[in-house]
Chains A and B, each alone.
Chain A
Amino acid sequence: MKTKILLLLIVLLAALAVGAVNAQDDGMVPVDESVTGDLEVFSWWTSGGEAAALQALFDSYAASFPNANIVNATVAGGGGSAARPVLQTRLAGGDPPDTWQVHPGWELLGQYVDPEYVVPINDLYEEMGWNDVVPEQLRDMMTRDGNIYLVLAGVHRGNGFWYNKPILDELGVTIGETLSVDEFIAIADQIVAEMPDVAPLCVGDSGIWATAQLFENTLLGVLGPEGYRGLWDGSVSFDSDEVKQAMTVYGQMLDYQNSDHAALSWDQAVDALMEGRCVFNSMGDWAYGEFVAAGMEDNVDFGWVSHPGTAGSFMVVADGFVMANGAPNEAANAGWLSVIGSRPAQEAFNPLKGSICARTDCDRELFGPYHNWSMDSFSADELVASVVHGTAAPADFQQAMNDAVTLFVVDRDVDAFAAALVDAVAASGFTEAGM
């Protein structure tokens, strides 16, 4: 009898070991039927492609944890503008969801780590071996005092510069691997001269972040990755000559924008590009989803290049999930985080979301030409943090920068713009605190 039990145990252990090896082979999180109960996932992924991508994560989770039940708590509203107040109220009231969607950087550290709404997940990173596949510059954006707090599901590249290829072909213009500010201005002048009805630059700033993002990309293009990082650690001041130079370039670019920019949202600006009412658009690669949805073909109907001057940098706009402090169902949530960080789940999620994996070992064949280009950039280039998407600076600075941009778009006062940002840095004090 005893030998039988021992044998059975050995067989079981062997099976487990084989299972574990298998799990490492295909990267899938091993099935665990002991995890039960509800898991509340709070996000603002409600639009078509986003909801489908979120569903892919849910499906991956259900495959590994068949007995747990996901409660999908999405709140509609672009960029989480409607969701965040709801979340803040719940967190302040001590009623957190198990996990919620967060951008890395200050949004994570300032809004959730400092008030102790989330707990570190170093063990999970160790256990899953993520320290080897998630780039260090990316992990730094989620780490404070040696503790890491976020699992990313995917990464968008924020410094894309999209263009209407047929129009440029008509003008006899070919865009190479990179584009400089001067080259852009030369092309824009040519468009103005030869096609008076077409605006060189498409902007849809009814949501001000879209033009703020044009500004942050221009900052990166003029200052370069080192100088741009210096803005956030305090070594470069917002009233330095380089920054004022970037503001001047931003103003120059705005001179080329479509006259109805204030009436359009960012996606309507992409529509305007596709219709040929304007030519270039500076936007993160969620714009790629708009081109695909409209049936446009890569490198035939539209093309892309890094925002002028930003080749060699990758502006990170990433989404991830956290472990709530006092999560109602901690076991289910640990499972959730291990799933979204795993390769198979990210390979299912990202092609639908239009982003790339937040790890460097995903199967490239699953992605189209644009995303392969973006993956090259992700693994080779400098990763820098976006302020518009909450990573490079805290929310109060982000708000102050949006306000300053709103004024600058109309009055183009470089000195007042610089002074407002210097004041905002001082009032926020984030450069001393450090990320």
Chain B
Amino acid sequence: MAQTSFANETVLRAVTEKPLRQKWHPEQIQSFLFLLPSMLAIIIFVYVFIAVTFYISLSNWRTAVQDWTLREPLFATYGDLFNNTRFQIDLRNTIVFTLLFILLAVLLGLMLAILLDQNRKMFGIPLFRNAFLFPYALSFIVTGVAWRWIFNPETGINLFFEIFGVNALLASQGLDPLKPGWATDPSVVLQVNDALNVIIPGASDWRVALGIPVALIPVAIAATWQLSGFVMAMYLGGMTSISQEVREAARIDGASEWQVYRHVIIPMLNPVTISVVVILLHTSFKIFDLVISMAGSGPGFATDMPAIFVFDQMFKGTKPNLGTAASIIMLLMVAVIIIPYLRSQTRED
């Protein structure tokens, strides 16, 4: 910020007065020199690499042999990408997974935060706080492997249906036993293709079923388990910063505890909610490790994600132009979320 106003001043001077000799304070030179190495590193390893990735996505490089010539027409690989049924499914999965995961994680995290906030003085609260936060410290790979077993149709929670007699009960009623396939279930529920057909003719003939893939639900649950503790910590931090006087004032005005949260605390936590949602969004868009260790691509790509698509095309299919095109789309998806957020954050400063 300071630099921008400094620049504006010089521009103003340049217009109104005769140009002054630029004076560099020793501290400015010093700080510039200190910043230079990391700036160079970021320019090369972030922006130049993004540019190279983008260039490859426009090129003819689609085998193990490097080919840096540009494709005709220029964006043909992006056309291939969006015509690829698997990538279409991946986009559906990203949207469905993101909605499920963010909804569950934010609600659960907020609920845990309120519970802990309500009982701040109670004995053993730090223990619970740490227990809820602990999954966040684990690697997604660990979470994925653990939940893979939990949702395994043969060894996981389906055994509880046996142990607690649910299946015996169903059998006595002449019904089939309850044995969900969880992450191996290929069905897609709440399909909207036919409804969409009214607006977009031909939608009911699309190969991609627009709906909620059942197999994604266990993955969203595992991701929620991992990150709801983080959401809780964020909210708890926000709640601590709200002074007791505000709560007292609301209570004196006759608000119930629920109303205090509903009308005072949660609205005051809006900035926290925005931060939380942005962080979860970009985690969700880029998710790879949890899904690959828990479910892989899934039956009929029910749990496939753009990041897995990129990996398969780049390293298994050795099709760099298609893989990089998909990663550029992922970058754009994240950028659409992150850039407005960063802008609003810096403006507040």
Contact = CB atoms under 8 A, between A and B. Distances in A.
Co-complex (A, B): yes
Contacts of B313: 399
Interface string A61-84: 000000000000000000001001
A407 B152 contact: no
A263 B315 contact: no
A263 B302 CA distance: 13
Interface string B75-86: 000001000111
Given A88-B315, A406-B300, A407-B86, A394 B186 contact: no
Contacts of B186: 262, 409-410
Contacts of A395: 63-64, 316-319
Interface in A62-118: 81, 84-85, 88, 110-112, 114-115
A413 interface: yes
Contact of A396 (B154, B207, B302, B318): B318
A110 B186 CA distance: 34
Given A110-B64, A260-B153, A263-B153, A407 B85 contact: yes
Given A110-B64, A396-B318, A400-B317, A420 B299 contact: no
Contacts of A396: 62-63, 317-319
A394 B63 contact: yes
Nearest to A410: B300
Interface in B293-349: 296-302, 312-313, 315-319
A152 B86 CA distance: 35
Contact of B64 (A114, A262, A406): A114
Contacts of B226: none
B316 A262 contact: no
Interface string A380-406: 000000000000001110111001001
B284 interface: no
Nearest to B85: A407
Max count, chain B CB within 10 A of own CB: residue among A115, A413, A416: A115
B238 interface: no
B181 interface: yes
Contacts of B154: 260, 263
B300 A398 contact: no
Contacts of A7: none
Contacts of A110: 63-64, 318
Contact of A413 (B86, B207, B302, B319): B207
Interface string B49-69: 000000000000011111000
B63 A398 contact: no
B193 interface: no
B184 interface: yes
A406 B309 CA distance: 13
A315 B191 CA distance: 41
Max count, chain B CB within 10 A of own CB: residue among A115, A263, A395: A263
Interface in B139-158: 152-154
Contacts of A81: 316
A79 to B, nearest CB: 10
Nearest to A416: B207
The list of the 8 closest CB pairs from A to B, nearest first, reads A410-B300, A399-B317, A262-B184, A262-B299, A85-B315, A410-B186, A263-B184, A111-B64
8 contacts: A112-B64, A114-B63, A115-B66, A262-B181, A396-B63, A396-B319, A403-B312, A407-B300
Interface of A: 81, 84-85, 88, 110-112, 114-115, 206, 208, 259-260, 262-263, 394-396, 398-400, 403, 406-407, 409-411, 413, 416, 420, 427
Interface of B: 62-66, 80, 84-86, 152-154, 181, 184, 186, 207, 296-302, 312-313, 315-319
Given A406-B297, A406-B299, 15 more contacts: A110-B318, A111-B318, A206-B296, A208-B297, A262-B181, A262-B184, A262-B298, A395-B318, A395-B319, A399-B312, A400-B317, A403-B301, A406-B86, A406-B301, A409-B300
